[in-house]
Structure 1
């Protein structure tokens, strides 16, 4: 029922013209559509606990919707708000922060995101380069972030910073700040994939209090790592949806395209390529839904909670490669017109590449899996 509802709604609000209109704006989404998502569908609250006004459903239900959003290439702050900001609050937020911010997210009055990567192009603990220093009862935050999803439009930003002189997993803290806090400077960061906007954020002597601190100072890496792994599963779900959609678009086009007196889809070589695309899409879903089950247990302390890192990396490594391969094959089977503005395939191709790199590509996650197995 969740999938059917998502398909019907997204087919209406995330058409080709709607996607292109959102791409043309700096904000990256239509405010009216986002409010419909929040008020009519209540998707932003799907896995927020009921005590904060949420629906209290699980990660599998969230992944179902993310897969469909990946299929319809929805342009919205859903991923940044739900899969980054909300997860950060659920995993690391204090009771007061959860009550304040999760309630606002449920009401549809607040969007959120997570900023943790600097300029070094890393996705692990060493990606955190911004610093925090203690100033009496306050903290001073300084540094620069890049690749922050919807960072230029979010109302709440979770910042990862580190103690000066610390390296690796040591000395990392999380702070939840109003995006308009003095000293926070945000700018849109143009990228190849215009369907998901990113931002660059600079912190210049940003003064915050202990009320903004999430958890214990200098010891937040386990929480941040869990947030990243949950977000990794979410990205993989979108990739699985995109892999399926590129297959569907390709099959539809090759059945209509006539060459040598018959549809292109009737040629054996095209059938073989389409079969390979279907295999990638189906295996991607298997990896994603297993990872979603593990993520659900990780949030609720189930017996499979310790497998989250491995399951997330397995899903992301396969889905990154599978989605980009399907998008590439779709371009080829469209005979080149797939990369013209009139067709939507090139939008999926760009999203496939950007999502492949976001939170680590296939090689990065295969290396993580190898380290887990060796340990």
Structure 2
């Protein structure tokens, strides 16, 4: 865990370089396109992240197969994966891990977390609604059936829900349940999305057997959601960084009127504005991870407020930077063959994910009225 905010330790720098090297080998543009178009599976590289690099369980205690680090380290990984649009379920894994840890169910953690950490299990969490917001009220109901429960209802827009081997479902109560993705009575339907690198699925539950995680009505999904939102912001920093670097490199090389286009004031100022946006997004994303790791400490900050702030700033920056990059790159950027549209789609789609614009309302409530009121507007 970083002792100083915004300062990466030598271990974090080494982690960043290891993940960056892996991404350069595994997730070049053809590989990303192949997975997004259904021509290749991402699961082999997913297992590499778990078994060889050990980054899937960074924020999981060592006794359950993790590294015992924090969200700051996980954010380092998220930024590098975002920079190459790696089509792997990393954010879903973190959301699932934080949900399990927050449940206080040690038996479930001991059973499920080792597989999450080594990549042999792929998790998805059913919590949001069809618009991508955290659902104001769960749309799945659990009924006790002996020592198990039966689930009925539906969940829309479940990120990575099509490829998952395991599902965590926030049902009425709120109550957290775990079930195998191949459980009888569960139907999964892949839905079309703007961002082909991040698949989503609609789920329908008809008398599906499920295991209770934690107590009935005892789930507290918000801390896990805030952790995932903070990492989504870090991922968007990676998206923005790649498009900024691409723009600057092109502006130095593209010649017009006998000089690089980067020497023209309009292009120069656009790139400067993009850099300011990028650095601001990087700062708020880092602060969100730092605040989460220090939740409840006198030297910390409100992790809910920090997460919403990071989502608002990083999402807006990513949309503006990817859009600005398309302007700098010119006509080539609007072709299917160029990767600019993939980054722009990731930025736009991610801005609507896991709360989307509702974070603005929540941020205002948290800042003005305090945590109690702020949390009630989370899904409005």
TM-score by length of 1: 0.90
Q: How far 1:98 sits from its partner (Å)?
A: 0.4
Say whether 1:289 aligns with 2:291: no
Q: 1:103-149 deviations in whole A, cap 9, x for unaligned?
A: 12223211111001234x36245152222234555432111111111
Gaps of 5+ in 1: 163-170
1:103 to 95, 114, 122: 114
1:247 to 244, 247, 271: 244
Q: Identify which range, 4-13 or 318-327, moves more after superposition.
A: 4-13
Q: How far 1:333 sits from its partner (Å)?
A: 1.2
* Cα separation, 2, equivalents of 1:257 and 1:317: 33
Q: In the alignment, what sits opposite 2:7? A: none
- Is the 2:132–2:157 Cα contact (8 Å) retained in structure 1? no
The alpha-carbon distance between structure 1 residues 339 and 123, as it changes in their structure 2 partners (threshold 3 A), is same
Q: How far 1:339 sits from its partner (Å)?
A: 2.1
Q: In the alignment, what sits opposite 1:207? A: 209
Say whether 1:70 aligns with 2:43: no
Gaps of 5+ in 2: 1-13, 371-380
Q: How far 1:3 sits from its partner (Å)?
A: 1.3
* Cα separation, 2, equivalents of 1:189 and 1:84: 21
* Cα separation, 2, equivalents of 1:159 and 1:48: 20
- Is the 1:29–1:77 Cα contact (8 Å) retained in structure 2? no
Q: In the alignment, what sits opposite 1:140? A: 150
Matches of residues 1-375 of structure 1 in structure 2 within 5 Å? 1-25=14-38, 29-81=41-93, 83-119=94-130, 121=131, 123-135=133-145, 137-162=147-172, 171-208=173-210, 212-220=211-219, 223-298=220-295, 301-303=296-298, 307-361=302-356, 363-372=357-366, 373-375=368-370
Q: How far 1:249 sits from its partner (Å)?
A: 0.8
* Cα separation, 1, equivalents of 2:23 and 2:242: 13
Moved over 4 A (4+): 135-138
Query: For 1:48, what is the secondary structure of its paired residue?
Result: coil
Give the count of matched residue pairs: 356
The alpha-carbon distance between structure 1 residues 127 and 339, as it changes in their structure 2 partners (threshold 3 A), is farther
Q: 1:313-344 deviations in whole A, cap 9, x for unaligned?
A: 01000001000000111111111321212211
Q: 1:7-56 deviations in whole A, cap 9, x for unaligned?
A: 11111111111111111117x74222222222221111212111112111
The alpha-carbon distance between structure 1 residues 308 and 29, as it changes in their structure 2 partners (threshold 3 A), is farther
- Is the 2:115–2:121 Cα contact (8 Å) retained in structure 1? yes
- Is the 1:148–1:200 Cα contact (8 Å) retained in structure 2? yes
Q: 1:289-327 deviations in whole A, cap 9, x for unaligned?
A: 1111111123xx533677011000010000010000001
Query: For 2:196, what is the secondary structure of its paired residue?
Result: coil
Q: 1:76-100 deviations in whole A, cap 9, x for unaligned?
A: 122222x221121111151110001
CA RMSD in angstroms, aligned pairs only: 1.8
Q: Identify which range, 288-297 or 309-318, moves more after superposition.
A: 288-297
TM-score by length of 2: 0.89
* Cα separation, 2, equivalents of 1:186 and 1:24: 19
The alpha-carbon distance between structure 1 residues 357 and 304, as it changes in their structure 2 partners (threshold 3 A), is farther
- Is the 2:83–2:242 Cα contact (8 Å) retained in structure 1? yes
Q: 1:220-274 deviations in whole A, cap 9, x for unaligned?
A: 2xx2111111111010010111111110011112222211221111111101000
The alpha-carbon distance between structure 1 residues 255 and 36, as it changes in their structure 2 partners (threshold 3 A), is same
* Cα separation, 1, equivalents of 2:247 and 2:132: 34
* Cα separation, 2, equivalents of 1:132 and 1:140: 5
- Is the 1:118–1:130 Cα contact (8 Å) retained in structure 2? no
* Cα separation, 2, equivalents of 1:93 and 1:156: 19
Q: In the alignment, what sits opposite 1:168? A: none
